[in-house]
Amino acid sequence: QVQLVQSGAEVKKPGASVKVSCKASGYTFTSYGITWVRQAPGQGLEWMGWISAYNGNTNYAQKLQGRVTMTTDTSTSTAYMELRSLRSDDTAVYYCVRDEYYDSSAYPRLWGQGTLVTVSS
């Protein structure tokens, strides 16, 4: 079945970097984009950005520009999200989400299980 399996929880110090992986299975990886969404404790959902697994094109949230990089490895059907210069307010659960296409548009459809990233000194 189609699924996204993310890497495990991370604890990082302020100023460090984190790289979260998202391994896809059950479908042709390069046929769908991947969106990254995060959720701070007790808060709502925040869109971080999107990457095309076909050609690597990206679109990032302006507030994260310069600190976030999204990549894919088509040989392993894995997407990655790296966030640098971590701050305490980056503490959140990070989700990867596979697109679905309808009516010439794409929307986030299938969610990974989430990866908790804790930033603490």
User: Which residue ranges make up the site for another protein (CB under 8 A)?
Assistant: 35, 44-47, 50, 59, 61-62, 95, 100, 102-103, 105-114
C-alpha distance from residue 34 to each of 6, 49, 62 (Å): 13, 9, 18
Smallest separation (angstroms) from another protein to the CB of 114: 5
Smallest separation (angstroms) from another protein to the CB of 84: 20
Of the two residues 18 and 38, which places its CB atom closer to another protein in the complex? 38
Place of tokens 């995060």: 38
Of the two residues 102 and 121, which places its CB atom closer to another protein in the complex? 102
- Exposed, middle or buried by CB within 10 Å (0-12, 13-18, 19+), for 75? exposed
